[in-house]
Structure 1
Amino acid sequence: MSQAGDFGELAMNLHDQDGTLATVEGVLQFATEALRYDHASVMLMRRRRAETVAATDELITKADQLQLDFREGPSLLAISDHHEVLVADTTTETRWPEWAPTAAEYGIRGVLAIRLYTEHSTSGVLNLVSAQPLDFSDIDRESARLLALHASIAIASARLQTSLIQAVDSRKVVGQAVGRLMERYGLDAVQAFTVLRRYSQDRNQRLNTIAAHVIETGILPD
C-alpha cells in the first residue's frame, strides 16, 4: 500500500475508535508498525500539566516522567514553544543536561516530539522514539508531521465527543434530581433547580454531586 493509502486507512481507523484512549493507541500502533519507530507515546494536557496517557511500553512512560521530574526535555519544549523538537542523539544532546544522559542510559537515542494542536488549543505532544540516532530524510519528517496532524484532529474529536456525552449525562442526572425535589417538596422546576444550585455553591460541590445525592436518598444533603 502507498503512503497516501496508509494515512487514508489511518484516518478511517481513528474516526472509528471509541474514546480518546483508543484513538491514542491507534496512533501509537501506526507509529511503530507503519512508520517503524521503536517506541512512541502521547502526552496530553490535563489541568495545565502534561501527562502520558499511552505509550508502547513502560520504558517510554518512565522516560516521559523524567521530563516532568527534571522539568526539561523535548516534549515539554514542543508543547510550550515549538511545533516539533528533534533530538538526533541523546548521547551528544546538550540542551537538557539531566534528561538527555538519563534517557541515553535507558536506551533512547533519538526522539522527535511533535506538538498536537488545533486552531484553538494545544492538546499535547506525540513522541516518536528510536533506539538508534535519528537521521531524518524529508520524507521521514513529513510522514511524522502528517501522523501528528491526523492525531491532533482525531484526539480533539474524541475529547469533544466525550465532553458532549458527559454533558448529556450531567443534564439527565440534574433533571432527575429536579423531578425528585418537585415531587417531595412541592416545588416547580425553576425552584427545584435553584435549590440544587444554591446547595452546590454553599457546599462548594459540583452540581452533579448534589443531584446524585438527591437521586440516591430522595433528600437534600444535611
Structure 2
Amino acid sequence: MPDQAGDFGELAMELHNRTDVLDTVEGVLQFAVEILRYDHASVLLMQRQRARTFAATDELITTADQLQVELGEGPSLQAITEHDDVLVEDTVTDTRWPKWAPTAAANGIRSALAIRLFTGHATRGVLNLVSAEPFVFNDGDREAAHLLALHASIAICSAQVEANLNVAVDSRKEVGEAVGRLRERYGLSAVQAFGVLRRYSQNGNIRLRDVARHVVDTGILPD
C-alpha cells in the first residue's frame, strides 16, 4: 500500500482544479485504480428512483453494475437500501445474492467493496471497488475507500446543491476546508469530520455548503 497521506493530499489538490463533477469523480476512480491498485472502480447513483452507473473505469464494472440493476440484487443495491457499507470477500462462496454473485464470479469479479456516498441528506449512491482476487480488502483498504468516497461525495453533493458548476467547485473547496478545520480542532478523521457536517446539515435543515462556510468563517459548528 502506498504512502496514503501524501497520495491523498495530492489527490485533493488535483481534484480542486477540476471544474466538472463527472471529471472529478472520474479522477477519484482513476486514483483508485492507478495509485491504490484496485482492478476496477465505479460510482453508482440513484437518480429518479433508479440506480445507474455515473462513472466507471471500464466496461466490466459497468456491466456488473447494470447486472445488479437488472437482477434487483447485489452489494451496491444493498449498500443503498440498508445505508451501510458492504464487503464481498469472495463471490464464489458468498450466498447473499444467488443470482448476482455467480455471474460476477464468472466475469472475473471475486471480491468487492461498496462504500456509501452521502449526497445531501441520504445515501444516494455507492463507490464500488472491485478485484479479480478473493479476500483482497483489509482494514487499510476500507479506510482508503472511505477517503475516496468522501471526495466523490463532496463533488456530487456540491453539484446537486448548486446548478452552476463554477459555484459547485467553490462549494467543494469550502466543504474540504471545513473538514480540515474540524479534523484539526476535534482530532477527527476525514470521514468523521464529513459525517459531522452532514449531520448538522440534516438535523438543522441547512445546506451542506452553508454549514461548511460557517465552520470556515468562524472555526466552530453552527448552534
1:49 is aligned to 2:50: yes
Give, in whole Å, the separation in 2 of the partners of 1:164 and 1:54. Answer: 20
Aligned residue pairs, count: 166
Give, in whole Å, the separation in 2 of the partners of 1:165 and 1:103. Answer: 36
| Structure-1 residue corresponding to 2:125 | 124
Are residues 48 and 15 of structure 1, via their aligned partners in 2, closer, same or farther at CA, if it must alter by over 3 Å? farther
- By how many angstroms is 1:165 displaced? 5.7
1:135 is aligned to 2:118: no
Bigger-Rg structure (1/2): 1
| Structure-2 residue corresponding to 1:149 | 150
**What is the letter of the counterpart of residue 7 of structure 1?**
F
Which segments of 5 or more consecutive residues in structure 1 lack a partner in the other structure? 167-222
Please show how residues 1-222 of structure 1 align to structure 2 within 5 Å: 2-118=3-119, 120-161=121-162, 163-164=163-164
Q: Secondary structure at the match of 2:164?
A: helix
Structure 1 runs of 4+ aligned residues shifted over 3 Å read 158-161
Are residues 158 and 14 of structure 1, via their aligned partners in 2, closer, same or farther at CA, if it must alter by over 3 Å? farther
| Structure-2 residue corresponding to 1:194 | none
Which segments of 5 or more consecutive residues in structure 2 lack a partner in the other structure? 167-223
1:84-124: per-residue Cα shift (whole Å, max 9, x none)? 10000000010000000000110000000011004623231
- By how many angstroms is 1:150 displaced? 1.8
**What is the letter of the counterpart of residue 129 of structure 1?**
V
State the identity as a percent: 68
Q: For the Cα contact (< 8 Å) 1:20–1:159, is it kept in 2?
A: no
- By how many angstroms is 1:39 displaced? 0.4
Given the two structures, how large is their TM-score scaled by the length of structure 2?
Answer: 0.69
- By how many angstroms is 1:15 displaced? 2.2
Q: For the Cα contact (< 8 Å) 1:39–1:130, is it kept in 2?
A: yes
| Structure-2 residue corresponding to 1:188 | none
Give, in whole Å, the separation in 2 of the partners of 1:134 and 1:157. Answer: 34
Given the two structures, how large is their TM-score scaled by the length of structure 1?
Answer: 0.70
Q: Secondary structure at the match of 2:135?
A: coil
- By how many angstroms is 1:21 displaced? 1.1
Give, in whole Å, the separation in 2 of the partners of 1:136 and 1:61. Answer: 20
Q: For the Cα contact (< 8 Å) 2:159–2:165, is it kept in 1?
A: no
Give, in whole Å, the separation in 1 of the partners of 2:157 and 2:13. Answer: 15
